Structure 1
Amino acid sequence: MWNLTTGTRSQCFHHGSLCSSLSFSPDSLQLTSASMDKTIRIWNLEVSSPQLQEIPVGVVAISADGSRIATVSREGFSVRDSASGTQVQRFVRGDGAAGQELQFVHPGYGDQAGLLSAAFTATGICFAAATDRQTVDMWDATGALVKRLPTGVRLEELELSPTGHLLATVDRQGIVSVWEVSTGMQQCQLPHHRTHRLVFSPDGSRLATYGRGDGTRVWDSASGAQVAHVRRHSARALAFTPDNSQIAIADRSGGLLVMDVAAEAVVHRFHRTRARAAAFSPDGKYLADAASNTISIWNATTGEHITSMRADSDLESVIWHPGSRAVFTGGRGLLGYEFVT
């Protein structure tokens, strides 16, 4: 959008393809656009337009009422309003930047997005990050340190459970440890598996891990007992159904599989996708996957493809609104898509 008086650009909005139609609302507070990417978008002109970010953003958590979304990047944490995308809170590395300053691992060490995690809890939100190569610190919504966890090993990845009561860490040897957040005590350590991917089930009772050359394993997160082992498939992304009975595996050959955990058998096999992230809707009816710059929605029962939507950058993550009516994706910024059946 341009200011006709000054001739300067005042706002910028992004579609995933050519824009074919534009229309203002009668009060000029909203703009509707239609695009060749097969989407219609409504923009709030009272809110400054989000600028395309150069730093990839991962969507890691959404509040129980769907009003807030937590994202991570190598710069730190952000909390955003899910309706407008407006940033309401920011926690950055302690480098003198604006916002609450925290101390965590130096940019030169590892994949920073994999060493940060967040979860909405019953009392607010919890942020976790590797503050050096062997320690995990956890903060509350005010930025106050609530727990310091010395792991004693050099870490490569960490993940909070969706409820925030458990923390899983992966060391340089690929060994996974599960910690109880409230006490800081190690709950269990999984047998040597050379883990490269991990994800908790929605209730935190199960943990899925992928080890190169060993396939995907599902564990009881309390005892560390193995529940299932799916061989022969690599895994770029993992996602549980709400009842923990099935798990989606996005493999490197371009397929997306849904496996029955108890039977260790394929239920559905989707092709034409090289998904980097996947998530089941909270009602269990749909499966969303993010591949390159496209998010696809599938019927989780029949395997039928329902719709696809394109973004203007590669997508790194995907998460559902608690009401199963919208999906949010992270890439070069945060995008939200309302899903109507």
Structure 2
Amino acid sequence: TGSTDCALESHTRDVNSVAFSPSGMQVASASDDGTVRLWDAQTSTTLFVLEDHTDWVTGIAFSPDGINIVSCSKDGAVRIFDTRNGELLQSSRTSDENFRCVAYSPDGRRVILGHGNGRLQLCKTDMIELEIGWHGHATVVTSVQFSPNGQWILSSSRDSMVKLWEAQTGALISAFAGHAFLASSAIFLPITTYAISTSTDRTVRLWETSPTGVDSAAEDTPHIRRFAAYSPDGQSLISNGHSGTLQYYDANTGELGSALHSHTGFKCAVYSPNGLQIAVAGWRYGFELWSAQSCAIVHFVRTSDEPTIPAYSPCGRWMAVLIMSGGVDVWDTHSESKQVICRGQQVTSLAFSPNSLDLAVGHLNGDIRIWETSTWSCNIVIKGGVKDRAYVVYPPESSHLACCYMSGAKGIRLFDEKGQTFRTILEHDKFNVHQFAYSSCGQWIAAADRQMVHLWTITSDGMESDWTHVTTVEGFFGKVGMVIWRPNTIEFATASDDGSIRAWKVEEESGNVSVQLLWGHGGTTFTALGAVLVGAVGLSTTNRKLLEQRGAILESSSSANDCP
């Protein structure tokens, strides 16, 4: 019926892992409160509370015979308990390990452990003795499991990958790429030739675990575009590509350039203001600096937690990085010193002022804090009045700050140097703007609104002038996550959850504004190869170009009538 039979509520902090015993008569749970609890599945009563761990207990598993439980913890400990009396049977602890998950082999003689740094470790259970270990993923291993026959090991990771390993040697058999975000778990089906994985990209994927090493995810599988960035000279565009790559594009033609791999994966990447380097935020505790010309890694900067979004100051001195656990790491590129601001606070966006004197930080609760970069003191706190994620942007050549909220509430608000709201623009019931960008000239705003992009232009010079909505770009099959302007042009690019990266050009003629598609890649799979459309009406210019790019032949009614 889907109704709750009982609730087990004795843990005092988050529960990280639960497991049924092979008989189904017991349940084990592991928690951030540092305990392992064993429950009677029929009566919901606590049988034992195992309190030997000194930190979060992150993984737990029953032995195949149900007699023992193995647990692992962030404190580097692995412990085996007797389920009959709660006695600690084996214990091993290292000072530098950060275990996240654990699983028994079918014969109960070994356990496989997943680490916070991406390592996998195979141990014998009699003495918890290391048998073999290897670096399997770029970041946290989220799940591990032996195949039913004990020959293979399946692992998933926050680097979005699912991998298949040979259990005796740790040799890689297959690597399955297809998830757009972190792979949260992976399990074998009872028939070993298939596995299922889940992800925060809201998909469940079925894989054929063939020993040939063939990846069942096709290279053209649609994937979410997380970011896009133009080079300062406007000649190149980068975005996350397939299988965890950073893809280069020619900004003029859309021609594919290099597809680069990072040791830490890709969450976001930005060019330095001089265009010589690319800062790559990955899945490890730090970001990489790449040479934009040679694509070689020239520096690695460690952060206090996993980075999410990097931002350069226009002067190039400061690099600010959003941190997953809360706060902003600031790196001085001159002295290479680092500091943390907004520590422990949930931050959603960053924007440096054009003169690099201020850093605006948008928060999850709608507040905005403005930090002075000369002293790194917070001088202004703006209460948003909207309990929603704040997205902040500085217009070009302006000390004023612009902000929208992810739900689209209240349009775009403009603040003066003192943090006072002096104007609200683009406010309309039908608009739901969650991200926006100014053109280099400051005369245009492109704003992402669910599966479309709106375009506004300023009708006269100055901040007090009116903004006029001129057109809407549609034709997306997923949420438009990012819109960015090409420097010194009236062209912009969009990155969408439908997997597309597209470049657009704004054209003005006799007072009319239109947006033309220049080129595009990815997106929901669709082909019109060989299709002939005669006398089609109601097609926008964008849709006509999309059809032509996919192989359709568009003919007018008059030309069709001329055919024999």
TM-score (norm 2): 0.44
Give the Cα–Cα distance (whole angstroms) in 1 for the partners of residues 221 and 317 of structure 2: 32
Contact 2:329-2:340 at 8 Å conserved across structures: yes
Task: Determine the structure 2 residue equivalent to 1:108.
Answer: none
Give the Cα–Cα distance (whole angstroms) in 2 for the partners of residues 252 and 136 of structure 1: 26
Task: Determine the structure 2 residue equivalent to 1:64.
Answer: 232
Task: Determine the structure 2 residue equivalent to 1:209.
Answer: 361
Q: Aligned pair 1:104/2:277, yes or no?
A: no
Task: Determine the structure 2 residue equivalent to 1:319.
Answer: 484
How far 1:280 moved relative to its partner? Answer: 0.8
Spell out the pairing of 1:142-221 with structure 2 (5 A cutoff): 142-151=294-303, 153-161=304-312, 163=314, 165-186=317-338, 189-190=341-342, 193-202=345-354, 204-213=356-365, 215-221=367-373
Contact 2:286-2:307 at 8 Å conserved across structures: no
Q: 1:88 aligns with which of 250, 257, 271?
A: 257
How far 1:309 moved relative to its partner? Answer: 1.0
Q: Aligned pair 1:245/2:412, yes or no?
A: no
Contact 1:59-1:319 at 8 Å conserved across structures: no
Contact 1:161-1:202 at 8 Å conserved across structures: no
Give the Cα–Cα distance (whole angstroms) in 1 for the partners of residues 221 and 352 of structure 2: 28
What SS does the corresponding residue of 2:441 show, helix, strand or coil? Answer: coil
Structure 1 residue runs without a partner (length 5+): 1-50, 93-101, 106-111
Task: Determine the structure 2 residue equivalent to 1:24.
Answer: none
Q: 1:285 aligns with which of 437, 443, 446?
A: 443
Contact 1:294-1:309 at 8 Å conserved across structures: yes
Contact 2:311-2:320 at 8 Å conserved across structures: yes
Task: Determine the structure 2 residue equivalent to 1:336.
Answer: 503
Given the superposition, is the C-alpha separation of residues 212 and 123 from structure 1 closer, same or farther in structure 2, using an over 3 Å criterion? closer
Contact 2:227-2:269 at 8 Å conserved across structures: no
Contact 1:198-1:208 at 8 Å conserved across structures: yes
Task: Determine the structure 1 residue equivalent to 2:423.
Answer: 267
How far 1:236 moved relative to its partner? Answer: 5.1
The code of the aligned residue for 2:501 comes to L
Give the Cα–Cα distance (whole angstroms) in 1 for the partners of residues 374 and 469 of structure 2: 36
Q: Give identity over the alignment, percent.
A: 17
How far 1:123 moved relative to its partner? Answer: 5.2
What SS does the corresponding residue of 1:284 show, helix, strand or coil? Answer: coil
What SS does the corresponding residue of 1:306 show, helix, strand or coil? Answer: strand
Q: Which stretch shows the higher mean deviation, 192-201 or 278-287? A: 192-201
Give the Cα–Cα distance (whole angstroms) in 2 for the partners of residues 179 and 126 of structure 1: 15
Spell out the pairing of 1:103-122 with structure 2 (5 A cutoff): 103-105=263-265, 113=267, 116-122=268-274
Given the superposition, is the C-alpha separation of residues 279 and 146 from structure 1 closer, same or farther in structure 2, using an over 3 Å criterion? same
Q: 1:78 aligns with which of 231, 247, 264?
A: 247
TM-score (norm 1): 0.70
Give the Cα–Cα distance (whole angstroms) in 2 for the partners of residues 203 and 119 of structure 1: 18
Give the Cα–Cα distance (whole angstroms) in 2 for the partners of residues 333 and 67 of structure 1: 19
Given the superposition, is the C-alpha separation of residues 52 and 84 from structure 1 closer, same or farther in structure 2, using an over 3 Å criterion? farther
Give the Cα–Cα distance (whole angstroms) in 2 for the partners of residues 169 and 340 of structure 1: 36
Give the Cα–Cα distance (whole angstroms) in 2 for the partners of residues 184 and 158 of structure 1: 19
What SS does the corresponding residue of 1:184 show, helix, strand or coil? Answer: coil
Q: 1:309 aligns with which of 473, 479, 501?
A: 473
Q: 1:127 aligns with which of 258, 276, 279?
A: 279
Contact 1:298-1:304 at 8 Å conserved across structures: yes
How far 1:293 moved relative to its partner? Answer: 1.7
How far 1:338 moved relative to its partner? Answer: 0.8
The code of the aligned residue for 2:312 comes to S
Deviation beyond 6 Å, 4+ runs, structure 1: none
Higher relative contact order (CA 8 A, sep 6+): 1
Equivalent residues, number = 272
What SS does the corresponding residue of 2:278 show, helix, strand or coil? Answer: strand
What's the RMSD between the two structures over aligned residues? 2.8
